[in-house]
Amino acid sequence: MLKINVNVSTEYTVFIENGILKSAGKLISEALGTANLKLCLVTDTTVDKLYCTEDSTIMTSLKDAGFDLYKYVFPGGEKSKTIETVSAITDYLCEKHFTRNDALVAFGGGITGDITGFAASIYMRGIPFIQMPTTLLAASDSSVGGKTGVNNSYGKNLVGAFHQPEAVIFDPELLNTLSRELLLDGMAEIIKSGFIGDPSILRDALEQGAGVFEDKDSLASLVAKAVTVKRDIVREDEFEGGKRKLLNLGHTIAHGIESLSNFRISHGNAVAMGMGIVSRAAEKKGWSPHFENGVCPLTHKLLEEFEYPQNIDFTPAQLAEAALHDKKAHKDSVSIVYPYTPGDCRIKEVRNEDLEEFIASGLCI
């Protein structure tokens, strides 16, 4: 079993092991520290059908641990990531008489984790929750660090709160039911972590290529490395006052791409596109050192190896306008994270009036 300790305002452990679902009840009981709690497992319709029947491994494990178990299921997809879904969850908790001593379990992908964590942060001004990611993207990124929230009509994740989980429990065997597209979503976040703080991730990804999806042990190792990068940054800057902004590599433009496509383009593909744009633009502007096997060629190799699309149908003006609605935007500028060298990213403020030209310089024409 891989264990990663996260020491922030709340100390918790990330557990990664094949077959760990069987031990989930015991681990959750130990993390919460109280027996016979009411526990509500929150999941979406897809994960519910696959893994949450009454006699499933996860449900059996939680019941055997002595929890008074409830389940809330919402329709899957980005369109459910709204304040209305969170309100429905909190209404359900009221209906079932949940108290501050009870807890939630987010069992699903990043959307489930964000929604459940936000509901936990506001119900009775905060109750505990557990992250149990079922996707590569959630396991390697969104389940760790305490960011929760929902979208609104102006953009992604503009309504939310910081609320750390009590534990993160990831079983790589859950990836067996994921499509290649969903695995690629997660790999984009893993590659992002490599550029930010661990170049060995980039070497591993290049060496193994898409074949890594067939090797759950190698995937688990990559997830652990990505989580460690994020853990180290969040430990220094839990509430995104400075260094944590580095985790937004590719995301400012990616969120715009997602919104403009009405979420037809997935988060991972959008992040890959965003990383490509900022890498090319930073190279052209001389922000990144020029050397053989530098950032831009490495970015290109990785995006090509995993066949991420780089041709974007939206204009620089459209992308710039969407980026200005991102929560990283300030009054007069937008914070752009770019790779300086492999394993080292930097932040520059780009003036609002210069953003369109910056994006244009990084597009594949």
End-to-end CA distance of the chain: 46
Residues 6+ apart with CB under 8 A from 174: 21, 51, 134, 135
244 is catalytic: yes
The answer to whether 307 is a known catalytic residue is no
> Which residue among 163, 192, 245, 251 is the active-site one?
251
Active site residue 346: no
Whether residue 248 lies in the annotated active site:
yes
Residue 122: both structure tokens together: 């506001």
Which among 81, 156, 163, 230 is annotated as catalytic? 230
Q: Which of 81, 244, 245, 280 is catalytic?
A: 244
**181 assigned to active site:** no
Q: Is 163 a catalytic residue?
A: no
Give me 254's structure tokens: 């990616």
Beta strands, E only, the chain? 2-7, 11-16, 38-44, 68-74, 103-108, 129-133, 147-152, 155-162, 168-170, 333-341, 344-351
Catalytic residue among 166, 189, 258, 356: 189
Q: How many CA atoms lie within 13 A of 149 on its CB side?
A: 15
Give catalytic status of residue 255 as yes or no. Answer: yes
**From 151, 157, 248, 269, the catalytic residue:** 248
d(CA 355, CA 357) in angstroms, rounded, equals: 5
Indicate which residue of 54, 95, 125, 214 is catalytic: 125
* Annotated catalytic residue, options 17, 163, 225, 240: 240
**267 included as an active-site residue:** yes
Active-site residue, from 81, 163, 192, 255: 255
Q: Give the other-Cβ count within 10 Å of 151's Cβ.
A: 23
Which residues are known catalytic residues?
A: 125, 147, 189, 230, 240, 244, 248, 251, 255, 267
